Structure 1
Amino acid sequence: MTALGFLYPGHSAEDDYPRIEQLLGSDIRVDLVHTDIGEDAHRVDALRRMGAPERLSAGVEALRLAGAEAVVWACTSGSFVYGWAGAHEQVRSLALAAGMPASSTSFAFVHALGEIGVHRVAVGATYPDDVAELFADFLRTGGATVTGVRPSGIITAAEVGDWGERELFELARRADRADAQALLLPDTALHTVAHLPALEKELGKPVLTANQVTVWEALRLTDRRVNAPALGSLFTREPIVQV
């Protein structure tokens, strides 16, 4: 049994995680601890407070007691708002507090792009313009070419959590670009897991979503590889071997 630990801010789309656990269909356990969200706002100052070390470290003891072998901060905006260096420091502090390998959803996106060998991406963000651009900058620092960013101007995670299939597909269609090799949907408050195969069929390309890549990142940290077609191309492709 491999136990994966996640720190998830508040309550929005956390039901994606037990769904993923079921779809993995193997000896994988997903343990989720909710962190204090503070002010629910897609605003840089609020997001930085949400990802502060003391908020994250408060949840790690429960994950240790559950036997987690790795922990991922399951929040994209609460990590990339620190910038590349700051997000690395956030993960380093989390690993020290938890006593286990650690990462965040922002780095999960970068690593997942390397896994599927994709460089040119489009972004469909629920965030306001300034926050969406910070994510694009983070991806660029990680080596990606961002061909387009489509923000949605949503202020709270609670509102995003209420989005259904119609809103999700509208965002994906608006954000996709013909010159993008993949579409990225970066909000962990957005329910996406039930729709991954349909999204990829609709767009004809890989779709990476926040909760999907977050679990994949935890598997990467524990050196586990699981073939799970219902979770999209990321969970079916062979890794790219650099020569």
Structure 2
Amino acid sequence: MTPPAQPAPTVGIIYPDHAAEGDYAIAARLLEVRLPVVHVYGTDLHAVPELLDLGSPERLAGGAALLEPHGPTSVIWACTSGSFVYGPDGARRQADLLAESAGVPASSTSLAYLAALAALGLTRVAVAASYPDGVARLFVDYLAAAGVEVVAMSSAGIRTAAEVGALDADQVRTLAAEHDHPDAQALLVPDTAMRTLEVLPDLEARLGKPVLTANQVTVWEGLRLAGVPSHAASLGTLFTGGADRAGR
């Protein structure tokens, strides 16, 4: 008798509003995993008070409740700015509270960036941010507190997630590639509202270095917490064994 097929691993994604959540369907197909996405809603303005509200424990607990029927093995708050705006200690506390609500390991996109950089052994980066300057600088401060040197930072000054989600593939390539720096070991593109997965292979080939985008590291972190091996050549260096060689 043929044994019953095992269910695909499941990583629950809590996503703010609507913009680039289609990236998770792409990743789920490539990796043969389940990435159910639920939404929490607030103002999508890239401004500190609104971001603090968006990432509040109450909103994330509501997202965890929506994910419960999917039986996730891990849960990720898929919002970079809605986690790093709390600072390093606040971001960790945010994830701890989410884990308590979800009953499974939890993390966020901001914490995923730190885990991915550590796995790849990288400490010197450039940041190509879509955010207004003040918010982008908070991400730089967040990285610096973890010992990551930011050799160049750019801010596109886009005020809302909806506007970021409207960028087409060529605009994303331009925003990213024009703000790399030769001294950077990797380029970080930190906004889950930006559709990046389909342009990752082209960007890495063009720049000759790892490119870490928000939706990419979010998926990787969820699978890492779930103990699920992850490999997909079209999802960049992070998914092609580089992290394993670095001792993930």
Which TM bucket (shorter chain)? over 0.9
For residue 182 of structure 2, the aligned residue among 160, 178, 190 is 178
The alignment-based identity, stated in percent, is 51
Secondary structure of the residue aligned to 1:30 is coil
For residue 39 of structure 1, the aligned residue among 39, 43, 46 is 43
User: C-alpha distance in 2, partners of 1:227/1:218?
Assistant: 13
Question: 1:5 matched to which residue of 2?
Answer: 12
Aligned pairs for 1:29-178 within 5 A: 29-36=34-41, 38-178=42-182
2:133–2:155 CA contact under 8 A, matched in 1: yes
User: C-alpha distance in 2, partners of 1:99/1:90?
Assistant: 14
1:74–1:188 CA contact under 8 A, matched in 2: yes
User: C-alpha distance in 1, partners of 2:105/2:187?
Assistant: 28
Secondary structure of the residue aligned to 1:8 is strand
Q: Kindly tell me the number of residue pairs found equivalent between the two proteins.
A: 239
User: C-alpha distance in 2, partners of 1:175/1:167?
Assistant: 13
Encode CA deviations 1:175-213: one digit per residue, 9 max, x unaligned: 100000000000000000011100100111000000000
Give, in angstroms, the shift of residue 63 of structure 1.
Answer: 1.4
Question: 2:247 matched to which residue of 1?
Answer: 241
Encode CA deviations 1:37-64: one digit per residue, 9 max, x unaligned: x112100111101101111111112212
Encode CA deviations 1:56-105: one digit per residue, 9 max, x unaligned: 11111221211101000000000000001111111111011111100000
RMSD, aligned α-carbons: 1.1
Runs of at least 5 residues in structure 2 that lack an aligned partner in the other structure:
1-7
1:125–1:186 CA contact under 8 A, matched in 2: yes
User: C-alpha distance in 2, partners of 1:44/1:176?
Assistant: 26
Give, in angstroms, the shift of residue 219 of structure 1.
Answer: 0.5
Secondary structure of the residue aligned to 1:112 is helix
User: C-alpha distance in 2, partners of 1:29/1:239?
Assistant: 26
1:122–1:183 CA contact under 8 A, matched in 2: yes
Amino acid at match of 1:23: L
User: C-alpha distance in 1, partners of 2:135/2:162?
Assistant: 17
For residue 25 of structure 2, the aligned residue among 18, 34, 43 is 18
Runs (4+) off by over 6 Å: none
TM-score (norm 2): 0.94
2:177–2:203 CA contact under 8 A, matched in 1: no
User: C-alpha distance in 1, partners of 2:203/2:221?
Assistant: 21
